[in-house]
Amino acid sequence: MSHAIATTTPELPRGIVRVMLRKQLQVMRSTLLAEITNQAHAGDQPMLRRFAQVESALRRMNEGTFGRCVECGGPIALERLQTSPDATWDGVCEAHGGHVQADR
């Protein structure tokens, strides 16, 4: 998807990316929280799962383990985190079935 700009785009320092991702996660968290406390979505399992995932990403950020695969401990690609900051697995583990989300 971003193959054309990969070599010319200067890489953002990880610290800045982290701040951006944290902000993104906090926005996701409050959006989801509003959704799951809305009667129309009461008991919406995929949404609750997503919320739990965002919560755990924020927790891992505080613990300093954010950006690592919960399965193998390997690093999750920055590019991947930028598209889904709540990613729990690296590409390899997700491909092996770690990913059980129903939303795609």
| DSSP secondary structure letter of residue 41 | G
CB nearer to Zn ion: pick between 58 and 67:
67
Residues 6+ apart with CB under 8 A from 26: 58
Q: Does 48 bind Zn ion (CB under 5 A)?
A: no
Interface with Zn ion, residue 69, by CB under 5 A: yes
Region near Zn ion per CB under 5 A, out of 15-23, 30-38, 52-60, 69-77: 69-77
Q: Does 77 bind Zn ion (CB under 5 A)?
A: no
Judged by the rule CB under 5 A, the positions of this chain that interact with Zn ion are 69, 71-72, 74, 90, 93
